[in-house]
Structure 1
């Protein structure tokens, strides 16, 4: 499908509203082993990914578990979908228990040829508002690739870290993150589908879950940091239940490089600016 065929999707918008309620907050906190936050308290960084879902009936899902394409997102039939990365700007915290909205705009579509075949890159801008203020702006990169063997080659060597934490991606953790994000993508829980259809050896760890664990490891090491911008990009998949690590290093007093890795090397890289 050509860029010309997809031009009608550019500029499309979609809006979602969420009350950031205590029930969902308790579920998110339990997933991350954190204490629930009280109404009016700041929502921890990147927890916004666990809200603002637009539930879709099973009849409206594609074979991979994602919502069928051709609505807000353009059609990309017979391709595997990946959340490749995001660039997030933090202006002020979303507050628990207070209604907020998300305005999503499709800003970029581009077809490229990569080592695995045709790749369709789609960028969606998400803007999160509460009490009339822009709180978070995010650009999310989605990649649709032709069905082909996933990249399981070793990654780059892991640099020396100034802080790091070990993560055990259990089946329960992956299930719970899929549940709190209402994400039915089958690569995270359906082993026969994972192996027989998409070609991974086992369940795949969610990219945004890795990014969230990575950023919160940084915040535990730097509890007074005020986040300004955070970006992450997937390099290679992390496969459950193999242990992996999240960590990073300061390159300046207000600038950090973060990464996630396992014994095969770097799997996700991230960049953070903070005060």
Structure 2
């Protein structure tokens, strides 16, 4: 399927946001992850916690059916109704520091329309460059995918069970409180994380959905605890939903200069794959 010319005209569109890496949201994130707040002014912000900053304050009237911002403002007017955060890649240069100002420049880098086994898909890749003190802090590539509504059966495609033997593992017990708090911290209105009726009857999940970026954060945090080295690069890709508040495991194995990571559901399926380079 060739990508339409009208959509390709959105490539290279750019937007900027500025924020101060304030202490309070970082302390709220610590509490959300069930930790006592210990971070203080001048400390480095943990990797991937930038997602609780640079937030876009859209009024409810500017939100779509799923409570994401309506398409056609910065993101193109994709006709497909469902949106998922499919994955991302990161290169880290300098730490963000709590108390310092920062700037994020976001650019639409790629738009690709495809025909999948379940119908049409549209992939959008965003590049986020984050600066602090006029120096590059990190570059993130974010992959979004748009899909059509589920037809007939509400079952979703599942990943294959190809779990490797883990060197380290941690069991995660999700709660509705955790999902609500992370949605609030990231100002993420997507209804699949808190509206059970919407998640099941509109988007076809079997329960509330655990956030993909939160899973990616937990995986990287686990790797950092095991390796105790500065992170250089990180990538993740969602392969199946974590839903219904079911317990799951974040696991990994060490390589020479990397950690191979995954999130495993209680049915054995891999929900996310990731890699951290040190």
TM bracket (short chain): over 0.9
* Contact 1:89-1:229 within 8 A present in 2 as well: yes
For structure 1, the 5+ residue unaligned runs are none
Q: Which residue of 2 aligns with 1:183?
A: 188
**What TM-score do the two structures reach when normalised by structure 2?**
0.94
* Cα distance in 1, alignment partners of residues 38 and 71 from structure 2: 35
For structure 2, the 5+ residue unaligned runs are none
Q: Which residue of 2 aligns with 1:271?
A: 275
What CA deviation, in whole Å up to 9, does each residue of 1:231-274 have, x standing for no partner?
00000101131000001012x32122100011221110001110
**What TM-score do the two structures reach when normalised by structure 1?**
0.95
Tell me, yes or no, if structure 1 residue 228 matches structure 2 residue 232.
yes
Q: 1:193 pairs with 194, 198, 213, which one?
A: 198
* Contact 1:41-1:95 within 8 A present in 2 as well: yes
Q: Which residue of 1 aligns with 2:24?
A: 23
Q: Which residue of 1 aligns with 2:81?
A: 79
Q: Which residue of 1 aligns with 2:68?
A: 66
* Greater mean deviation of Cα atoms: 165-174 or 70-79: 70-79
Q: CA deviation at 1:150?
A: 5.2
* Cα distance in 1, alignment partners of residues 33 and 65 from structure 2: 29
Q: Any residues of structure 2 matched to 1:39-58 within 5 Å, and which? A: 39-58=41-60
* Contact 2:80-2:146 within 8 A present in 1 as well: no
Q: Which residue of 2 aligns with 1:258?
A: 261
Q: CA deviation at 1:19?
A: 0.6
Q: CA deviation at 1:2?
A: 4.5
Q: CA deviation at 1:29?
A: 1.4
Q: Which residue of 2 aligns with 1:245?
A: 249
Residues 203 and 167 of structure 1, relative CA distance in 2, 3 Å threshold = same
Q: Tell me the secondary structure at the aligned position of residue 227 of structure 1.
A: coil
* Cα distance in 2, alignment partners of residues 194 and 68 from structure 1: 19
* Contact 1:103-1:126 within 8 A present in 2 as well: yes
* Contact 2:119-2:148 within 8 A present in 1 as well: yes
Q: Tell me the secondary structure at the aligned position of residue 102 of structure 1.
A: strand
Once superposed, what is the RMSD of the aligned Cα atoms?
1.4
Tell me, yes or no, if structure 1 residue 37 matches structure 2 residue 53.
no
* Cα distance in 2, alignment partners of residues 39 and 263 from structure 1: 39
* Cα distance in 1, alignment partners of residues 65 and 119 from structure 2: 21
Q: Tell me the secondary structure at the aligned position of residue 198 of structure 1.
A: coil
Q: 1:206 pairs with 204, 211, 221, which one?
A: 211
* Contact 1:25-1:36 within 8 A present in 2 as well: no
Q: CA deviation at 1:155?
A: 3.1
Q: Tell me the secondary structure at the aligned position of residue 164 of structure 2.
A: coil
* Contact 1:150-1:198 within 8 A present in 2 as well: no
* Cα distance in 2, alignment partners of residues 258 and 207 from structure 1: 14
Residues 150 and 53 of structure 1, relative CA distance in 2, 3 Å threshold = farther
Q: Which residue of 2 aligns with 1:164?
A: 169
* Cα distance in 2, alignment partners of residues 169 and 155 from structure 1: 23
What CA deviation, in whole Å up to 9, does each residue of 1:184-232 have, x standing for no partner?
0000000010111111110011100000011111112222x11000000
Q: CA deviation at 1:54?
A: 1.0
Residues 154 and 104 of structure 1, relative CA distance in 2, 3 Å threshold = closer
